[in-house]
Amino acid sequence: MCMMIMKRSIPEAFRGSMTENESAKGFLEEIEQYFAKNEKSEASNLLSNLVSMKYKGKGNIREYIMEMSNLASKLKSLKLELSEDLLVHLVLISLPVHFGQFKVSYNTQKDKWSLNELISHCVQEEERQARDRTESAHLASSSQNKIKKRARDVAEKSSQQKKPKMQTEGFPCYFCKKTGHMKKECPKYAVWREKKGELLTLVCSEVNLDFVPMDTWWVDSGATTHISVSLQGCLWSRPPSKNEKFIYVGDGNKVAVEAIGTFKLQLKTGCHLDLFETFVVPSFRRNLISVPCLDKSGYSCSFGDNKFSLSQNSVLIGTGPLIDNLYMLDVISSHNEILQTSSRGTKRKFNENSATLWHKRLGHISKQRIQMLVSDGILEPLDLADFEVCIECIKGKRTNIKKLGANRAQDVLELIHTNICGPFPTASWNGHKYFITFIDDYSRYGYLFLINEKSQSLDVFKSFKAEVELQLGKKIKAVRSDRGGEYYGRYDGSGEQRPGPFALYLKECGIVPQYTMPGTPSMNGVAERRNRTLKDMVRSMLSHSSIPESLWGEALKTAVYILNRVPSKVVTKTPYELWTGKKPSIRHLHIWGCPAEARPYKPHEGKLDSKTVSCYFVGYPQYSRGYKFYNPTSRSFFETGNARFLEDIEFWGEGNIRNVVFEEEQVIDSDQVIIPITSPDIVMEQDNNEIPPPVPPVEQNQHPQEVPLRRSTRERRSAIPDDYVVFLQEHEDGIGLMEDDPINLAQAMRSSNSEQWNSAMKEEMKSMYDNDVWDVVECPEGVVPVGNKWIFKTKRDSKGKIERFRSRLVAQGFTQKEGIDYKETFSPVSAKDSFRTIMALVAHFDLELHQMDVKTAFLNGDIDETIYMVQPQNFVVGDPKKMVCKLKKSIYGLKQASRQWYHKFHKVISSYGFETNLVDDCVYHKFSGSKFIFLVLYVDDILLASSDIGLLHETKKLLTKNFEMKDLGDASFVLGIEILRNRSRGILKLSQKSYIDNVLSRFNMKDCNPANTPVAKGDKFSLAQCPTNNLERAEMQKIPYSSAIGSLMYAQVCTRPDIAFIVGVLGRYSKDPGMDHWKAVKRVMRYLKRTRDYMLTYQRSDSLEVIGYSDSDFAGCQDSMRSTFGYIFMLAGGAISWRSAKQRLIAPSTMAAEFIACYEASDHGLWLRNFVTGLRVVNNIERPLKIYCDNNAAVLYSNNNRSSTKSKFIDIKYLVVKERVQNGQISIEHIRTESMLADPLTKGLPPTAFYEHTAHMGVILDDTLV
């Protein structure tokens, strides 16, 4: 039995080699001899491992020394004993450089240490160094003599140590230079940190400060940021902020920061390294690259064998040697240095036999194809050793299919493959959106045509056929294509596909058509694969250049030109040689998109004119010997053979390599049969022979277990839907986050305020736990949980100073499906008109005005649906792939969250006697005798306006009783609007000065020249000013036009009716703006620069009455000939509501345009009247609402029943104005044009008239207001 068990427990191969034994004991002894180790060999290996061990500073040093001790114990068991002294020395030798002081202390303090003592001292030293790394800055800002003196002093101090353990008396304080304490215990350092707490502290390791070239870059593991000694090589820069102007180093010295910018380094490997947020410090002597910053950017660094390696995603990016105990990165040069050198005419040396250079010249073809060109003698022998990873190829190429063989044609024109690709999301510069290819099966020689529509396929085929048949003297025998309507024909009414023009033409010419079967594009694999190869090349070529994407057509033509001259695996020679019988020449090829200095033909060139034009190389002329160039200044093309190509210059923008996106199509390889496989993350070359394993098929009859929420079949959307709501209370300083706010968790954790953000996140999670928002459960099968993210916001006061840091956990509600995850949505947001009306009443009645904030308001709402959510980052319990949060209450980001919160709030506040307004559900009022209080709700912000302070505090108490509230006291800053009051004079003003400053700063208009008016009188805008071609359109896409319009729109909506007209007009062109439109936007910003201190003012008046003004221009829109109407309503001396918009129909006369404006004004005026009526504090609201109009004909038509020829074309719905006048609801009265307040809402005015009108609107400057 024992024999049988042993035989079955060993591998069959070993079992067969064993001799037969009758006893189990003999069999066991034979096995023992069989596996007996060679003690000499094992001892040699163990000793080699022990001697070669190096501690790299990672992990636990105690465990590292114990590991060495374990190896020594194993050697002892093999009769090779090492003394404890020798083992101690081996450990000390293996320690890294930063233990140098520790080794000195060992040599000077004690003759002999035990291993246990060594472990204790090493642990203490490692802990000390860890503390010092976070608190000290070892920056070598002194001379070399000072460094040597410091080292000598340390050695002398250490030699005086009498105790066996490490002590602090032997080391000087890095701050005050006195001994007896460390820097963290230094009282002077504590005082200095308290004074300079807001200033940035830089941590760098100590370096040798001998003279080094300014263009060298040194890797520093102790630096917390990148450092450059000059702006040389800087792509772009910005001035340092208040907290970035100085760097305080470890010795207390203050170092000035000149600028902060982005540097792009060209590495000798052929790759590039972007250094963002690099501090320019002229007083430094070396350019430093921070290892921690590289790590945060996704790079990995490795050190060893006196060299340094930099990798990204396991791909080698750069290397460098160890020089003077520092690693120097091998850099060719920085971007601007190359640019400046080339502009001076200095010729740089680069390797003409570089495989990487020819890889780019040949449109990013594979390494195998380059080797074939060398083998055929078309290219001279190349240095293939420098063929490194091409980032542009990684961006542009992917492989996800597998191919099998197919039959080949035996001669040219026997079989032509064709296919159409498109439409492309970006039209070419001349409007093309498709391209069609024709590929000869025998030679793989290809033709390409750019087309506007698929119906042009027959026309281009006729041109192709005529050319190739005449040139080759042979006839096309067969054409293979898919069964698309452009090739085979369209379906008729009976559902049958009838032959179309293309098919009939082939039949007429005797050409045999070969069509793919429906749904099997793999049968046309050659054309499908060629199109995919072309798109891959174009992506890589565009990614490598800074040329507009609208030039993809030129890149396509160049890609076809290159493919016809390079070999592939399916043909023995190049397509050009098989097609023409001649070997191609490729020595004239250059990198597509590279900068060039070309000399075009200028028949009238002046003697002092520049000989060359700075341009980009974009291709090879079809019928000429030369090159084609694109001039970005004139946005035109020209051809010439006289040019200098600057292929060693990379013209990059401020961002990283571009992602060029074409349409997503099924990818087919060149030969017939398809087997779907898993797509790797990064494919190095398009001809890679390694095929990943196939994906196991999914059983069709498998169904996931039924669960409350099915999400596995939800559709994926490419963009956030229109109904996704971003609440304004998250952006109280205006539209969007402040520029200094982190946009994700990683950015927050590496920012200077990481501790504050971390505390804010913990506070948010505490609110989640306190409110019992979710339970952590195992994710049911088939459920795809809703995602979430952290939103970071600095809450600022009216002066822009930070009040507190807030982190908000927000669910990604845009992934929810209606009817499954939610049923209804609603956001409790009061209208801006309501807010301003309340402010006018506060000024008139001198009401108490306070503000409160509901903490985590949405957590108060209960949800009816079952929703699972991913666990928040940094707060994960258990396995994040299995455990999810099952929501019990709503949180920010869910589509129904705001609605559930409003229901909860409404239920609570109504129970205390508050009633909603008739027309605004987010405005409440309550009366108690003669006392009253208004409550305005804006999501989680609450304004309280009351005639009695006691009633106000009573309301605060009941709110605090039911919700977690923050009492902000007197209202001073609400929704990005500053509230200023002078109660003795009965004045209240609304200001957006801080918001306007942020807008100006965001769009680099802070130092612009002020303008008198937002728009000049007589300025007209139209579609004729929009871009006329794709090149102009590409230039405009670089301008943040829509963002600027949105930012101006928020100011206009809140407090600035003076810019309503021009912002509305310019907003009409947001889809396709032109340069004239952008200049008009900047004029509005220049006007805001002039009037940033202007405020919307309300004041106590003798009579409280809502009065409206209505106006219209006539056919002011140049594109539609429609008129622009405007109205404004006044209360307590200031505007409470206004609007400027284009009318819905074309008015045939000025009377009709004015009458339509009266209709729009009366509609909104009645809403205002109902709102004020619901407040029950205005006595004379029962009188007809006055609306002033400056057109006599419109006033007369509104007030009587007579008709005229001018009124025949007015839509019947607008006649309701006459009915409202007759019923006494409104009163249309005439006013002189000079007194028409709505005039600036319909047209541009001269400065004098404009300021007079805006002053009457209440938009004024009052320096006396405190």
Question: Which range, of 429-443, 471-485, 564-578, 689-703, averages the lowest pLDDT?
Answer: 689-703
User: Is residue 1030 a contact partner of residue 431, using CB atoms and an 8 Å limit?
Assistant: yes
Question: Which range, of 331-340, 512-521, 906-915, 1129-1138, averages the lowest pLDDT?
Answer: 331-340
Name the nearest CA neighbour of 919 among 635, 1114, 1166, 588. Answer: 1166
- pLDDT for 134: 53
Q: List the Cα angle 1063/1067/1073 in 5-degree steps.
A: 120
Dist. CA 411–CA 477, nearest whole Å: 10
Dist. CA 606–CA 613, nearest whole Å: 14
Name the CA dihedral angle for 941, 947, 953, 954, rounded to a multiple of 10 degrees: -100
For residue 930, CA distances in Å to 500, 846, 1077 come to: 85, 15, 54
- Beta sheet of 643-645, edge-to-edge order: 636-640, 627-631, 613-619, 595-598, 643-645
Tell me the sheet residues that pair with 619: 628
Taken in order 605, 607, 609, 613, the sign of the CA dihedral is positive
% of the chain exceeding 90 in pLDDT: 29
What mean pLDDT comes out for the span 610-618?
Answer: 88
Reported as a pLDDT band with limits 50, 70 and 90, residue 1259 is very high
- pLDDT for 619: 93
Question: Which range, of 174-188, 484-498, 618-632, 726-740, averages the lowest pLDDT?
Answer: 726-740
- pLDDT for 251: 59
Name the nearest CA neighbour of 983 among 850, 851, 1101, 843. Answer: 843
Per residue in 550-573, pLDDT (tens digit) is 888 999 999 999 999 988 878 878
Kindly give the pairing relationship between strand 1107-1112 and strand 1259-1260. Answer: unpaired
- pLDDT for 1089: 94
pLDDT at 630 exceeding the cut of 80: yes
pLDDT at 166 exceeding the cut of 90: no
Q: Residue 483: what are its φ and ψ, rounded to 5°?
A: -95, 30
- 220 is a catalytic site residue: yes
pTM of this prediction? 0.46
Rg for the chain, CA atoms, rounded: 39
User: Is residue 408 a contact partner of residue 675, using CB atoms and an 8 Å limit?
Assistant: no
What mean pLDDT comes out for the span 1090-1111?
Answer: 92
Name the nearest CA neighbour of 318 among 264, 388, 389, 269. Answer: 269
116 versus 1222: the higher-pLDDT residue is: 1222
Query: Which domains does the chain possess?
Result: 2-36 (no CATH), 200-343 (2.40.70), 355-594 (3.30.420.10), 728-975 (no CATH), 989-1260 (3.30.420.10)
Reported as a pLDDT band with limits 50, 70 and 90, residue 653 is very low
User: Is residue 273 a contact partner of residue 262, using CB atoms and an 8 Å limit?
Assistant: no
Per residue in 765-790, pLDDT (tens digit) is 888 888 888 899 999 888 888 888 88
Name the nearest CA neighbour of 352 among 92, 589, 94, 138. Answer: 589
Per residue in 672-707, pLDDT (tens digit) is 333 232 233 322 333 333 323 333 333 333 333 333
Name the CA dihedral angle for 958, 960, 966, 970, rounded to a multiple of 10 degrees: 20
User: Is residue 748 a contact partner of residue 792, using CB atoms and an 8 Å limit?
Assistant: yes
Reported as a pLDDT band with limits 50, 70 and 90, residue 39 is low
What mean pLDDT comes out for the span 806-814?
Answer: 80
Q: Which of 214-228, 338-352, 434-448, 820-834 has the highest mean pLDDT?
A: 434-448
Dist. CA 284–CA 1118, nearest whole Å: 60
User: Is residue 629 a contact partner of residue 551, using CB atoms and an 8 Å limit?
Assistant: no
Name the nearest CA neighbour of 171 among 184, 155, 195, 190. Answer: 155
Reported as a pLDDT band with limits 50, 70 and 90, residue 73 is confident
Reported as a pLDDT band with limits 50, 70 and 90, residue 1181 is low
Say if residue 1200 is exposed, middle or buried (CB neighbours under 10 Å; 0-12, 13-18, 19+): exposed
- pLDDT for 516: 86
Per residue in 271-288, pLDDT (tens digit) is 778 888 898 888 887 888
User: Is residue 923 a contact partner of residue 934, using CB atoms and an 8 Å limit?
Assistant: yes
Name the nearest CA neighbour of 1033 among 453, 549, 545, 452. Answer: 549
pLDDT at 721 exceeding the cut of 60: no
223 in helix, strand or coil?
A: coil
Structure tokens at 160: 């005086």
Structure tokens at 519: 């749904």
Name the nearest CA neighbour of 804 among 745, 732, 750, 744. Answer: 732
Dist. CA 1143–CA 1115, nearest whole Å: 10
742 versus 696: the higher-pLDDT residue is: 742
Select which of 85, 215, 220, 1076 is catalytic: 220
- Beta sheet of 416-421, edge-to-edge order: 446-451, 434-440, 416-421, 478-481, 512-515
- pLDDT for 408: 81
